[in-house]
Homo-oligomer: A and B are copies of this chain.
């Protein structure tokens, strides 16, 4: 059992520091060049989807079973086969789904951009004309979400994450009382970066919100809906849409998903799901923006997966690729940092990240030390609004891109740097 740093004397800490610095020097000399900064799939994960480019698309056959010629204009809402397929992932009926291009982030951005200039169903005016508009940001969260609402001039309100999802007392207090609150960012399953799945109670409390703003929307980014890594004990998320339907609050739901982390990050298929009324409203706006999505790529996805069983079978293979990586990260954290009182972390059952909470005031320093020795981490602070972690404590680790061997080296370095930063903090340096 390791001794907690907080109970060490200064001398003990200094001795330890000397030893760690030697090791750090040696690590630096290795000239590592590794990247754990973004949630990028590794080559072995990408290879799983390559059969999509084989015989599935013979020269002669680009029509859907429903008779759409995917090579030509049309089908703004996506091909019927994909609407059906993805309805199973996001737990919404097929007629309430639009299947779009290659990026769900783009769909979210577009949804807010349209709300800014032309408003949302039931809204009194476009959001651009709402002074002091606010957006709730459960944190730690996804930096690209926060960047969108920052770009559009929202005041970003940090909502603490709990093991069952965002702090719902605080969410209810804001949403139900403040008409300036127009939306909230959620990654409800295997959240980015903690891997937390919202509890049934949390989802029901979302469905039960009584927004002060008639045009309040829940941005439900179900990016990791089928991304079980430890598939012997997967998390289960109940359907927001189903819960909302019971309460007549479906219009709050803006649900997103994509195959970016199922097939190809730049060449996947993204979906937007909502109430029938919202879909009708949004489709009319979208008809001005584009003539339609890349249907050939949609057809390729449909032919590859066919149905939800096809997706689950594929994700089992993906889990086998990702599990050793998650194992490596978690076992390194366990063997190197547990018991020292300088770090906590979740053990997610799926998703794409592991989040580590370090001693306050040491996250930036840890990232800088790692960088100096050749390992790129997501910038400290990135998981909070405006890129500013008030405690300077959270680190997001993205284990999917490097190989297990590289990860192992990178995690050794990370733990070493976290220790050095903690010791300096304790010594007041």
Interface residues of A, Cβ cutoff 8 Å to B: 38, 40-41, 43, 46, 50-51, 53-54, 57, 59, 69-75, 101-103, 105-106, 109-110, 113-114, 116-118, 126, 128-129, 144, 147-148, 151-153, 264-267, 285, 288-297
B266 touches A102 (CB 8 A): no
A109 touches B266 (CB 8 A): no
Q: Which residue of B lies closest to A57 (CB)?
A: B53
Q: Which residue of B lies closest to A50 (CB)?
A: B59
**A265-B50 contact, Cβ under 8 Å, with A126-B128, A151-B288:** no
**A74-B266 contact, Cβ under 8 Å, with A102-B101, A288-B151:** yes
A64 to chain B, nearest CB (A): 12
Chain B residue contacts of A57, Cβ below 8 A: 53
- Which residue of B54, B73, B267, B297 is within 8 Å of A40 (Cβ)? B73
Cα separation A292 to B264 with both chains bound (whole Å): 12
Cα separation A294 to B270 with both chains bound (whole Å): 12
- Which residue of B72, B110, B266 is within 8 Å of A293 (Cβ)? B266
B72 touches A103 (CB 8 A): no
Cα separation A293 to B152 with both chains bound (whole Å): 22
- Which residue of B43, B148, B265, B295 is within 8 Å of A73 (Cβ)? B265
A46 touches B59 (CB 8 A): no
- Which residue of B41, B106, B290 is within 8 Å of A103 (Cβ)? B290
A268 to chain B, nearest CB (A): 9
- Which residue of B59, B128, B267 is within 8 Å of A296 (Cβ)? B267
A148 touches B288 (CB 8 A): yes
Cα separation A103 to B289 with both chains bound (whole Å): 9
Q: Which residue of B lies closest to A129 (CB)?
A: B128
- Which residue of B147, B288, B297 is within 8 Å of A297 (Cβ)? B297
Chain B residue contacts of A117, Cβ below 8 A: 113, 116-117, 128, 152-153
Cα separation A40 to B144 with both chains bound (whole Å): 37
Cα separation A54 to B54 with both chains bound (whole Å): 9
Chain B residue contacts of A110, Cβ below 8 A: 289
Chain B residue contacts of A290, Cβ below 8 A: 103, 105-106, 109
Cα separation A214 to B70 with both chains bound (whole Å): 42
B73 touches A294 (CB 8 A): no
Cα separation A148 to B289 with both chains bound (whole Å): 7
A264 touches B297 (CB 8 A): no
- Which residue of B40, B69, B105, B113 is within 8 Å of A72 (Cβ)? B40
Cα separation A41 to B71 with both chains bound (whole Å): 9
- Which residue of B40, B153, B293 is within 8 Å of A102 (Cβ)? B293
Cα separation A69 to B285 with both chains bound (whole Å): 34
B73 touches A38 (CB 8 A): yes
B265 touches A294 (CB 8 A): no
- Which residue of B43, B71, B116, B288 is within 8 Å of A267 (Cβ)? B71
A204 to chain B, nearest CB (A): 33
B264 touches A71 (CB 8 A): yes
Interface centre among A41, A117, A129, A265 (most CB of B within 10 A): A117
Chain B residue contacts of A264, Cβ below 8 A: 71-72, 296
Q: Which residue of B lies closest to A56 (CB)?
A: B53
Q: Which residue of B lies closest to A112 (CB)?
A: B117
- Which residue of B51, B74, B292 is within 8 Å of A59 (Cβ)? B51
A128 to chain B, nearest CB (A): 5
- Which residue of B71, B128, B293 is within 8 Å of A128 (Cβ)? B128
Chain B residue contacts of A129, Cβ below 8 A: 128
Cα separation A43 to B126 with both chains bound (whole Å): 42
A63 to chain B, nearest CB (A): 11
Cα separation A238 to B336 with both chains bound (whole Å): 66
